[in-house]
Amino acid sequence: MCRLLGVASLAPVSIAAAVGDAVLTDFVALTKIHGDGWGVAGVDRPGDTPWVTVSAGTALGDREFAAATHDLTPTASLVHLRWATNGLAVEPRNSHPFLADGLAMAHNGSIKPVDALDDLLDPATASTVRGTTDSERYFALIRRHRAAAPSLPEAVRRAVAQLRQGHPDASLNALLLGEEQLVVVHAHAHSRLLDEDVEEISATDLPAEHLEDYFALRIARPTPGVVVVGSTGFGDLEWDALPPESVIAVSLRDLSTTVLPLAGAAHP
């Protein structure tokens, strides 16, 4: 499992400036549990291809992470703190966000068994998978659907709906950057922390939200022209709930949002 943070802005802005240094510090403190790698993706201008920086180390005290979150000024970005699923290697190729076909993606959840996901991919898409995670295969499935879907959010919705059929209890929460959009997957209706995960979290001083509503995502608008999406358990922004079991697309052109319920068509 992991922690997610996404930013969309009408003007170039660093992640730290968009959310505030105190909120970012609060977020990085989650490496007490989520210290198995980090990644940052950004889009400098709407329409640009995302760039990605990843590491298999902890974000806390990492100068490269500090530079990516303080010095760079994209118009949209996403940050991922990894808590590796048992049995999956902690190495750079397994760190999120993943980057391919002009898209970047980070996932919070676990889809098991991993090998079953390979059966959902065509050979050409499967050949692009470099790591061993379920998350990268989830990303590959989205890219497979993108070939036939009329838009990126609809491709995401189709992939999530397909996975939901075979994995009803999995968290499919994710953030994607690309095609002038920040796309949010808020799909975790039946997800629960394992007892061993609850025990590990309980041994820390992390906020109670980690146990009460670990998989939820929220949205905030801390300043005019900035939208922030984040996991629970950090930050004192004025968070609002996101629609459950849905795909939410934030336009990087005007920050308007479109909601696609997993079971239906898009509506504004």
Mean pLDDT for the chain overall: 91
CA atoms within 13 A on the CB side of 257: 20
pLDDT tens per residue across span 153-171: 999 999 999 999 999 999 9
Exposed e or buried b for every residue in 184-207, given b needs 16+ CB within 10 A? bbbbbeebebeeebeeebeeeebb
What pTM does this model have?
0.93
- Residue 138 host element (H or E): helix 134-146
Which pLDDT does position 214 carry in this prediction? 83
Q: Tokens 């329409």 sit at which residue?
A: 47
pLDDT tens per residue across span 210-258: 666 788 999 999 999 999 999 998 989 999 999 999 999 999 999 999 9
Which pLDDT does position 266 carry in this prediction? 42
Q: What average pLDDT score do residues 31-52 get?
A: 94
- Please state, in angstroms and rounded to a whole number, the distance separating the CA atoms of residues 9 and 240: 18
Q: What average pLDDT score do residues 104-126 get?
A: 92
Question: By CB neighbour count within 10 A (0-12 exposed, 13-18 middle, 19+ buried), where does 48 fall?
Answer: middle
pLDDT tens per residue across span 186-219: 999 877 666 666 676 666 776 666 666 788 999 9
DSSP 8-state symbol, 242: P
Going along the chain from its start, the domains and CATH numbers come out as 2-261 (3.60.20.10)
Q: Tokens 């391919």 sit at which residue?
A: 100
